[in-house]
Structure 1
Amino acid sequence: MSRFDFTPYRRSTVGFDRLFDLLENQARLNAGDNYPPFNISRRGEDNYRITLAVAGFRPTDIDITAQQNLLVVQGRKREEIEDGSELIHLGIANRGFERRFELADFVRVERADLADGLLIIDLVREVPDAMKPRKIAIGGTAQLSAVPSPSEDDDKAASAA
């Protein structure tokens, strides 16, 4: 694995810290383990789902932590033989894991479920009203109104017909 040190370049740039952070994070992620495998799907305009294959883990073995713009999923398996028998061959992976997902602004975890060896984490993006685009009247004192989305325009046209 080759490591890149971006420190000399950081000194000569202004405003590119986020770019270097992204490059360093990507290099760190590519060097890491690819366990457990996962899918990310978009289920609507503002709804997303992360599905991780975590067969053999119980809900008590998994920790999900949501921080600002970061979701961390950790799994730790207990090394125990349930029926007290002696283990002659260990072929089933019994290792822990840690997966990190960078989240966009205003994305929060809605819920998490574990069923059939799949950990499903539903995410929703909720942009505050203050951050949504607004139409501004020129030279008037009219109230500001939110800019309608294209789907709202179609609904209004259909109801008028």
Structure 2
Amino acid sequence: MRTFDLAPFYRSTIGFDRLFNLLDQTSADSAPGYPPYNIERTGDNAYRITVAVSGFSQNELSIVAKENTLTIKGEKASSENKARSEVLYRGIAARAFERVFQLADDVQVRNASLENGLLHVDLVREIPEAKKPRTIAIANGSASAAPQVEKAA
């Protein structure tokens, strides 16, 4: 059984804190790791989830983003070749799967693409203006002056 130390990710990621907590919990349950996936940071507020979906076509995959949950499902369509051929050894998994990712607040799905058996889902964290840091100007001793608020650069 393989164990992974996710502690370095806590220090270097923004927006996936809850995701890594859930991964820590599920890794102890010896849950199957099918299909394998990567989570990458591609920019300051940009992320990419890459799922290995070899053998699946675009119409056999579905991606649903609802609230703070991203669900990726794959289900093989019935093949007409099954009646004409007999599989002697099956090394390529073609079983149905469902991967659920918990997204942080303000993380939105930008797009998805299927390339060379890899499904790429691009995410971006869009922080609303109300949550962005602001610089507060300090007035010179006059209490009656209205406070000045400047936006941080």
Answer yes or no: same fold by TM over 0.5.
yes
Q: Structure 2: how far apart are the matches of 1:112 and 1:24?
A: 23
1:67-89: per-residue Cα shift (whole Å, max 9, x none)?
22211111111231348523242
Does structure 1 conserve the Cα–Cα contact (< 8 Å) formed by 2:65 and 2:109? yes
More helix by share: 1
Moved more, 134-143 or 43-52: 134-143
Q: Counterparts of 1:12-161 in structure 2 under 5 Å?
A: 26-28=24-26, 30-31=28-29, 32-82=31-81, 85-91=84-90, 92-138=92-138, 139=143, 140-148=145-153
Distance 1:88 1:37 in 2: 24
Q: Which has the larger radius of gyration?
A: 1
- Deviations 1:6-49 (Å, cap 9, x if unpaired)? xxxxxxxxxxxxxxxx9778534643220111111111101111
More contact order relative to length (CA 8 Å, sep ≥ 6): 2
Q: Which amino acid in 2 is paired with 1:107?
A: V
**Percent identical across equivalent pairs?**
41
Q: Counterpart of 1:85 in structure 2: which amino acid?
A: R
What amino acid sits opposite 2:39 in the alignment?
I
Gaps of 5+ in 2: 1-19
User: Is contact 1:135-1:146 (8 Å) kept?
Assistant: yes
TM-score (norm 1): 0.69
CA RMSD of aligned residues (A): 2.3
CA contact (8 A) 1:79 1:94 kept: no
The 2-side partners of 1:85 and 1:63 are apart by 29
Unaligned runs of 5+ in 1: 1-21, 149-161
